[in-house]
């Protein structure tokens, strides 16, 4: 894998054993991503070393309390209701990414790009949340345009200088699309198959 030094790799660990995840941590990967709270609860106590633990799936409001205890960052906040639940349950200022439905697909979660700034302004006023950037899944097939539009949105939000919003992380691209995502400006890629199968 040819990944620039300024792009951080997240190991997408859904369905992987704790032993597999430990191998990628030992290889130098510093960020682990999980899609399910229950899976993370079983794995995290068995993992050693320094790493960030990110939640990258769709988080249900009734799982927020558990998620806050397990994870360092939630990548897929897509509604004011979920953000309010995080702010209410968190005892400290908690970092999140806003999920953008860049392809505007009804089957996918995330806020439509045209409503993103409005949502971010509302979430930025909550007391215990810090917005650290954007995340998008991108469509299958040809995600380049969706990634480019998300990067443009990322840059636009940066210029708005909204209080409590730092556009530091642009999480885009997975095993089949990470090269395009990097070309379009991703600062973080979420790699599962391509990473674990290379170990």
Domain-located, residue 105: yes
Average pLDDT over residues 88-94: 96
Higher pLDDT, 6 or 139: 6
Average pLDDT over residues 116-120: 97
Place of tokens 């997240």: 10
Domain-located, residue 182: yes
How many structural domains is the chain composed of? 1
Q: Give me the percent of the chain exceeding a pLDDT of 70.
A: 98
Higher pLDDT, 120 or 141: 120
Taking alpha carbons only, the member of 115, 83, 118 closest to residue 100 is 115
Rounded to whole angstroms, the Cα distance separating 177 from 91 reads 36
Query: Does 7 have pLDDT greater than 90?
Result: yes
Domain-located, residue 107: yes
pLDDT of residue 2: 79
Query: Does 130 have pLDDT greater than 80?
Result: yes
Domain-located, residue 21: yes
Q: pTM, whole model, 2 decimals?
A: 0.94
Query: Does 98 have pLDDT greater than 90?
Result: yes
Q: Is the separation of the CB atoms in 171 and 188 below 8 Å?
A: yes
Q: What is the pLDDT of residues 168-185, one digit of tens each?
A: 999 999 999 999 999 999
Domain-located, residue 1: no
Domain-located, residue 3: no
Place of tokens 């249900």: 60
Domain-located, residue 97: yes
Q: State the alpha helices, DSSP H only, in the chain.
A: 18-26, 37-43, 64-70, 80-89, 113-123, 144-160, 178-183, 193-196
What is the distance, to the nearest Å, from the Cα of residue 137 to the centroid of all Cα atoms in its chain?
Answer: 9
Rounded to whole angstroms, the Cα distance separating 120 from 162 reads 9
Q: Are strands 8-12 and 73-77 parallel, antiparallel or unpaired?
A: unpaired
Q: What is the CATH number of the domain that holds 63?
A: 3.20.20.10
Rounded to whole angstroms, the Cα distance separating 151 from 157 reads 10
Place of tokens 């215990």: 128
**Residue 4: strand, helix, or coil:** coil
Q: How many CB atoms lie under 10 A from the CB of residue 70?
A: 15
pLDDT of residue 142: 82
Rounded to whole angstroms, the Cα distance separating 54 from 43 reads 13
Average pLDDT, the chain: 94
Place of tokens 């940066």: 158
User: Which residue range is the domain that position 20 belongs to?
Assistant: 8-196
Computed from CA positions of residues 184, 186, 190, 194, in that sequence, does the dihedral angle turn out positive or negative?
positive
Which residues are 32's β-sheet partners?
11, 53
Query: Does 60 have pLDDT greater than 90?
Result: yes
Query: Does 107 have pLDDT greater than 70?
Result: no
Average pLDDT over residues 68-87: 97
């Amino acid at each position: 894998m040819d990944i620039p030094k300024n792009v951080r790799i997240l190991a997408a660990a859904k369905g992987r054993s704790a032993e597999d995840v430990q191998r990628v941590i030992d290889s130098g990967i510093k960020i682990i991503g999980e899609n399910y709270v229950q899976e993370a609860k079983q794995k995290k106590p068995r993992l050693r070393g320094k790493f960030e633990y990110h939640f990258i799936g769709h988080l249900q409001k009734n799982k927020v309390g558990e998620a806050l205890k397990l994870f360092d960052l939630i990548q897929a906040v897509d509604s004011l209701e979920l953000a309010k639940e995080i702010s209410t349950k968190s005892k400290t200022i908690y970092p999140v990414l806003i999920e953008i439905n860049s392809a505007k697909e009804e089957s996918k979660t995330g806020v439509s790009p045209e409503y993103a700034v409005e949502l971010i302004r509302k979430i930025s006023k909550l007391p215990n949340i810090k917005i650290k950037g954007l995340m998008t899944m991108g469509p299958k097939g040809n995600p380049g345009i969706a990634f480019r539009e998300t990067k443009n949105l990322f840059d636009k939000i940066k210029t708005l200088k909204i209080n409590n919003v730092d556009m530091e992380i642009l999480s885009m691209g997975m095993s089949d699309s990470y090269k395009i995502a990097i070309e379009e400006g991703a600062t973080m890629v979420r790699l599962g198959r391509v990473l674990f199968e290379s170990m």
